[in-house]
């Protein structure tokens, strides 16, 4: 008999603003619409498609660790990594938009004790990540986005 996942901290998300519509509203309003999504902050992450070379943008929940931004490659606990994560592993120089600010960043995947520490930070913002991790065998990556100093 398998242990059922702990759902005590799971938050049912309002999915009325998703995907391309979320990105468009965020861009149109400088984040006035879309920066706060389901009570948590969201940014826009633009990666370069590893196969197409085309820019790909998605809205992502984020947390902060000092000057760094943190995003999670959860894909809701699916067995495979999301395409955006594979794109930034292939090309870690990416761009984010936070409210109306465009920021060039370098992405890296947290490992070991650092990942564990940052996992606590990101689940403090979006507790559902714990349940997503229970749904999959893979270790869900925590991505650190470090601003490029000009």
What are the b/e assignments for 12-26, b being 16+ CB within 10 Å?
Answer: eeeeebeeeebbebb
Q: How confident is the model at residue 38 (pLDDT cuts 50, 70, 90)?
A: confident
Is residue 12 pLDDT above 80, yes or no? no
Contact 18, 58 (CB under 8 A): no
Average pLDDT over residues 31-41: 91
Looking at the DSSP assignment, which residues form a beta bridge with residue 57? 46
pLDDT at 129: 95
Average pLDDT over residues 100-108: 98
pLDDT at 115: 98
Average pLDDT over residues 52-62: 95
CATH topology for 19-147? Pnp Oxidase; Chain A (2.30.110)
pLDDT at 19: 80
pLDDT at 149: 84
User: Which position has the higher pLDDT, 21 or 144?
Assistant: 144
Is residue 125 pLDDT above 90, yes or no? yes
Contact 29, 23 (CB under 8 A): no
107: part of which helix (H) or strand (E)?
Answer: strand 101-109
pLDDT at 16: 61
Is residue 3 pLDDT above 90, yes or no? no
Comparing 35-39, 81-85, 94-98, which segment has the lowest mean pLDDT? 35-39
Is residue 102 pLDDT above 90, yes or no? yes
Contact 96, 145 (CB under 8 A): yes
């Amino acid at each position: 008999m398998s242990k059922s996942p702990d759902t005590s901290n799971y938050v049912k998300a309002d999915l009325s603003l998703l995907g391309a519509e979320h990105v468009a509203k965020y861009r149109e309003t400088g984040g006035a619409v879309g920066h706060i999504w389901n009570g948590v902050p969201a940014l826009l992450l633009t990666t370069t498609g590893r196969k197409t070379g085309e820019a790909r943008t998605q809205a992502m929940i984020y947390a902060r660790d000092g000057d760094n931004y943190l995003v999670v490659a959860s894909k809701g606990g699916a067995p495979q990594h999301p395409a955006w994560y594979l794109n930034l592993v292939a090309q870690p120089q990416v761009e984010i938009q936070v409210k109306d600010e465009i920021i060039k960043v370098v992405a890296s995947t947290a490992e070991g004790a650092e990942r564990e520490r940052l996992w606590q930070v990101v689940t403090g913002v979006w507790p559902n990540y714990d349940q997503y991790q229970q749904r999959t065998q893979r270790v869900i990556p925590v991505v650190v986005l470090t601003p490029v100093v000009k």
